[in-house]
Amino acid sequence: MANNLTHTFVGGFSGLGLAFMEHNKGSPINPLLAICTSAIFAKLPDILEPSLNNPHHRQLFHSVMVLVGIGYGLKKTYDYVPKNNMGKLMRALALSAGVGYVSHLLLDGVTPRSLPLVGKI
């Protein structure tokens, strides 16, 4: 089962992968920015829904519905072509945050408890 350190490490590694992917595409993202942002956002689901020793803490922010929504947002953001430097920075931050959050959900999704479809709203 993934713990806080695992989520942080995998989130940061996901950000590094994003930076390499974007570099190969010709839209470089600062790797340090991507690693830090992804590592921070990889912890966000457990900040929003802390376990507090409750094995059933996974609700809306740990759900398949949120995973699909963020995945859709990542695709739209990935396809977006910014026109200025501020747009490039915002795109980089959005992509980094998204892959970090998704990495958390994917790690939780492969545990025996998995993810709820929707969870309690």
Mean of pLDDT values over 71-89: 94
Mean of pLDDT values over 62-91: 94
Confidence tier at 121 by pLDDT (50, 70, 90): low
This prediction has a pTM of: 0.91
- Residue 17 and residue 93: Cα distance in Å, rounded? 14
Q: What is the pLDDT of residue 113?
A: 85
| Residue 26 falls in which region: left (phi positive, over 0), alpha (psi -120 to 50) or beta | left
- In terms of C-beta distances under 8 Å and separation of at least 24 residues, what long-range contacts does 23-28 make, across chains too? 27/88
pLDDT tens per residue across span 26-58: 778 899 999 999 999 999 998 998 877 776 678
Confidence tier at 17 by pLDDT (50, 70, 90): very high
How far from the centroid of its chain's Cα atoms is residue 91's Cα? 14
Determine what percent of the chain is predicted with pLDDT higher than 70. 96
Mean of pLDDT values over 68-77: 97
Asked whether the predicted pLDDT for residue 63 surpasses 80, the reply is: yes
b/e string for 4-38 if b means 16 or more Cβ within 10 A? eeebbebbbbbbbbbbeebeeeeeebebeebbbbb
Q: How far is CA 66 from CA 15, 25, 74, 84, 87, in A?
A: 19, 27, 12, 30, 25
Crossing angle for the helix pair 85-109 and 4-25, to the nearest 10 degrees: 140
Mean of pLDDT values over 67-88: 95
Q: What is the pLDDT of residue 116?
A: 85
Determine what percent of the chain is predicted with pLDDT higher than 90. 66
